[in-house]
């Protein structure tokens, strides 16, 4: 939905609900769980990972907007995080550099 793509709290709640669903199924319970997010989905992945602490094993962001996750959430992400941005996307590169600092 175009109108909700910047609603990071909504996207985060949806991701947390999907995570709970996966973790409640016996076949998946013992598997490591990582998040992948692109664009605003990366902010939701980072917020969700921040809220779950060590339960998330990795976060990968592709062209993500970690700035939309908020500095509090970024400081609480325990999982190793990979931030990928296209080499010519100067604005998003700077946003990711600032988030990683």
Q: Which CATH number covers residue 37?
A: 3.40.50.1820
Decide if 83 is inside a domain. yes
Q: Do the domain assignments include residue 22?
A: no
Range of the domain at 67: 2-17+32-100
Q: Is residue 26 part of a domain?
A: no
Alpha helices (H) in the chain, listed in sequence order = 8-23, 26-29, 40-52, 71-76, 90-100
Number of domains in the chain: 1
pTM (2 d.p.): 0.93
Tokens representing residue 93 in the block: 């590169």
State pLDDT tens for residues 34-87: 999 999 999 999 999 999 989 999 999 999 999 999 999 999 999 999 999 999
For residue 12, is it within any domain?
A: yes
pLDDT, tens only, 7-38: 999 999 999 999 999 999 999 989 999 999 99
Sequence-ordered strand ranges (E) for the chain: 34-38, 58-62, 81-84
Residue 27 within any structural domain of the chain = no
Q: Is residue 84 part of a domain?
A: yes
Query: What is the C-alpha to C-alpha distance for residues 1 and 11, in angstroms, rounded to an integer?
Result: 11
């Amino acid at each position: 939905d175009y109108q909700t793509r910047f609603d990071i709290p909504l996207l985060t709640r949806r991701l947390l609900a999907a995570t709970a669903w996966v973790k409640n199924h016996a076949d998946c319970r013992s598997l490591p769980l990582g998040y992948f997010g692109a664009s605003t989905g990366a902010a939701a992945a980072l917020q969700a990972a921040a809220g779950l602490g060590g339960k998330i094993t990795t976060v990968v962001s592709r062209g993500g907007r970690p700035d939309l996750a908020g500095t509090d959430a970024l400081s609480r992400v325990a999982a190793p995080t990979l931030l990928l941005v296209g080499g010519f996307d100067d604005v998003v590169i700077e946003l990711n550099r600032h988030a990683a600092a």
